[in-house]
Amino acid sequence: MKFIDEAKIQVFAGKGGDGSAAFRREKYVPRGGPSGGDGGRGGSVWAVADRNLNTLIDYRYARLHRARDGGAGAGSDKYGRAGEDVELRMPVGTVVRDAATGEAIADLARDGDRVLLARGGRGGLGNLHFKSSVNRAPRQFTRGEPGEAKELALELRVLADVGLLGLPNAGKSTFIRAVSSARPKVADYPFTTLHPSLGVVRVAHDASFVVADIPGLIEGAAEGAGLGHQFLRHLGRTRLLLHVVDIAQGEDGPSPAEGVRALVRELRKYDEALYRKPRWLVFNKIDALPPAQADARIAQALRALRWKGPWFKVSALSGAGCPAVCNAAHRFLASASKERRARRAA
């Protein structure tokens, strides 16, 4: 599954309708009083989270969105019609920011979330409001207020339970193909993955979780190097990171431990909360080395890193070891969900 995960749009709320300066024209009432009604409010623009959407591609082509103006007031105390609101349906996981300031306006984290983006202008007042003991026939009225206008930046963050992390060509795409029905491109060159990919991992008939594969990271990713931090944000909503490590890396490349340290530095520079997420090591490509050599490299990396957390060895190509990773991840997620429910109930 590929994503269009950024877009810029402009939204214009409707102008409020003008108030009316009108007077009663009743038979046998020579000096009828004021009867001008108020203008209707302008339509507003809303963002609504829709779980049936998974891309912002519609907003790449439809950038201008306008709500209707409010109707003008009229005589006989008639109020103007309110302008019709506009609802912009967006995928769950969309963050809306003010394009000029970067301020977050909406975080559509749950299906059905509805957030105001631009408020419609208030309707003007009719002359009925200006009647007083010294002014029985006021001609004053007020114009409707303009609606808000904003330029907005939309950013879709992939919603997944588990995120795959690793250097280019660590085998993340092969891993997600092995454990799910996702079919990202796989090839022997850097940055094969150019978009986030989602896969549903089913560990039992009624038990599954969602895993996200993002493009491989290199030194400087937090500053935008390689494919940059635009993809790191997709890991922000995950609950567990699987750090895929290539143990078959040639002599000309970094050692497994050096590669892990470099990537962890990027995580910390980008976001301290992301750095502190639970992270497991998944040593991949054990099929590319003799078993004794693969075990020796893994042991050396664990010693160099002083690693105390969970770790696994797999061959994403053959699928060896992958079920163990998935079952452990599912148990972890189920336990975390149970703890969260208990805290909410307390």
CATH 3.30.530.20 fits 6-156, yes or no: no
Residues 6+ apart with CB under 8 A from 203: 209, 326, 327, 330
The pLDDT score that the predictor gives to residue 30 is 56
- Give the DSSP H or E segment for 173: helix 172-179
pTM of the model: 0.63
Other Cβ atoms within 10 Å of 134 Cβ, number: 5
114: which 2 tokens?
């509805």
* Spatial contact of 285 and 247, defined as CB atoms under 8 Å apart: yes
**316, 324 Cβ separation under 8 angstroms:** no
Within 8 A by CB and 6+ apart from 265, the residues are: 219
**Per residue in 320-342, pLDDT tens?**
999 999 999 999 999 988 887 78
Interatomic CA distance for residues 175 and 286, integer angstroms: 13
Q: Which residues of the chain have pLDDT under 70?
A: 1-4, 28-31, 181-196, 216-231, 250-253, 346
Predicted pLDDT at 105: 92
Domain boundaries, the chain: 6-156, 162-345
pLDDT at position 216 is: 59
Three-state secondary structure call for residue 235:
helix
Q: Which fold has domain 162-345?
A: Rossmann fold (3.40.50)
pLDDT at 252: 66
